[in-house]
Amino acid sequence: MLKFPQGFLWGSSTSAPQSEGRVEGDGKGENIWDYWYEIEPEKFHNEIGPEKTSGFYKNYKEDIELLEQTGHNVFRTSIQWARLFPKGTGDINPDGVAFYEDVFKRVKEKGIELIVNLYHFDMPLELQKMGGWESKETVYAYENYARTCFELFGEYVDSWVTFNEPIVHVECGYLYQFHYPMKVDAKAAAQVAYYTQLASSMAVKACHEVDANYRISIILNLTPAYPRSEHPADQKAARVAELFQAKSFLDPSVKGEYPEELVSILKEHDLLPEYTEEELAIIRENTVDFLGVNYYQPLRVKAPQYQWNPESPFLPEYYYEPHDMPGKKMNPYRGWEIYEKGVYDLAMTIKEDYGNIEWILTENGMGVEGEAQYREDGMIQDDYRIEYIQGHLRELHRAIEDGANCHGYLLWTFIDCWSWLNAYKNRYGLVELDLETEKRTIKKSGHWFKELSENNGF
């Protein structure tokens, strides 16, 4: 049996915009997802928008009971900025305060450790109208929002998170058009990335000012980049891919400074953001207490086959292109490679290059389309999900044996949730959600996860 260290955390992660939904009179302001769905519903799978989600706002009492029934000793969720501050700044929504307070109290009463994230791609619409993360005013608005959360809810929250996967809103919103505002503008992307990092560092500072004992993290989707070959051009492609994808937030968040090679590349392409020395000092002096790591798939790259068209807008793929490695193991539903050893490689990188900072695997999971086909006797028999988790846990256990400072494993996700443009196309939950009736039914993996948690291993 693989046993994990005493006190190891077992649970799941979700986000407020993907789980809460909306009810009439809840006081929540619009965010960019609400707005984008209103103007272009056809972009969303089956035209299911963010007002639906998994109904946590109405059903949270039942859902917290289900956390206990699936063996959680930790739960990570988020606060919707626009639920607390409907316009991003100004007046606070008392219904939002009361909702989060009751949720957090109930989770704590179950003896479940609570990790709360402050931003999960859900920019308040009123702030987006003023430039969103392209504007320094948003940085100050975020710092005020974060400080308010620390003051309102700090007594219930065990650990705070500044941002979930900040590279995603940079890439998807400002390079690849998967998130609103759907720009293709590398200069804006660099400014957005910088202001997001500055906001994160300012939130770390505010958190420790409110209470020096509070612990705060950032959650990064660290995708190890593997080169096609040993050829120097392929090796460089992988190195630069990691600079953009991982180190652009990992280094300033943990080390307090940006990688020199990344700065040189941005300078070479005239992409350096506006910044001040005072801001760089804030980033340098306010690093995170621990790290959250999301891992789903590796990034396989090779040197570009063709020269970049000088008339084309800059993208990171100037330096690399995807490598479709033959024979890889795939999740056919999500189109993602399953590569368990990536967990071990990430763990060793954190150990050797980042001072072996304490970290938690905060997301890992398998999205499957058409799960109803696996229902027998009223329960989804998702053995594939159990095998997926076991495979990754074997590599995580090996990493811990080799000195990795990892303290927990959180699955994405607790209950089937709404997933941005994909809506409910792929299901990830330990608990099945019937979209029509909102009935919740624990899957085979949910019962297995309880055993995993109780045994502290498998």
Which pLDDT score is estimated for 151? 98
Burial class (CB in 10 A: 0-12, 13-18, 19+), 96: buried
Please give the average per-residue pLDDT across 233-256, as a whole number: 98
Structure tokens given for 7: 């006190």
Per-residue model confidence (pLDDT) at position 333: 86
| pLDDT tens per residue across span 133-179 | 999 999 999 999 999 999 999 999 999 999 999 999 999 999 999 99
Name the E strands within 20-125: 74-78, 113-117
Q: Cα dihedral angle (292, 13, 189, 143), rounded to 10 degrees?
A: -80
CA 368 to chain centre: 19
Q: What is the pLDDT of residue 266?
A: 98
Domain boundaries, the chain: 9-184+205-249+290-455
pTM over 0.85: yes
Instruction: Place 26 in a pLDDT band, splitting at 50, 70 and 90.
Output: very high
Render pLDDT for 313-359 as a digit per residue (tens, 0 to 9).
Answer: 999 999 999 999 999 999 988 789 999 999 999 999 999 999 999 99
Q: What integer is the mean pLDDT of 427-444?
A: 96
**pLDDT at position 311:** 95
Q: Which active-site residues does the annotation give? A: 165, 363
Q: What is the mean pLDDT of residues 420-446?
A: 95
d(CA 318, CA 266): 12
Query: Mean of the per-residue pLDDT values for the chain?
Result: 97
The strand pairing partners of 389, in sequence order, are none
pLDDT at 115 over 90: yes
Q: How far apart are CA 354 and CA 220, in angstroms?
A: 14
- In the predicted model, is pLDDT for residue 380 greater than 90? yes
**Which two structure tokens, joined as six digits, stand for 151?**
């003051």
| pLDDT given for residue 332 in this prediction | 86
Q: Is the pLDDT of residue 304 over 90?
A: yes
pLDDT above 90: residue 52: no
pLDDT at 335: 84
Reported as type and span, the H/E element at residue 162 is: strand 159-164
* pLDDT confidence tier of residue 406, bands split at 50, 70 and 90: very high
Burial 212-237 (b: 16+ CB within 10 A, else e): eebbbbbbbbbbbbbbbeeeeebeeb
- Domain 9-184+205-249+290-455 classification at class level: alpha beta
What is d(CA 87, CA 146) in angstroms, rounded to the nearest whole number? 15
Instruction: Give the per-residue pLDDT at 242.
Output: 97
CA triplet 35, 37, 38: central angle to 5 degrees? 65
Separation CA 358–CA 272 (nearest Å): 31
Selected residue with higher pLDDT from 54 and 187: 187
Residues 103, 108, 113, 115, Cα dihedral to 10°: 30
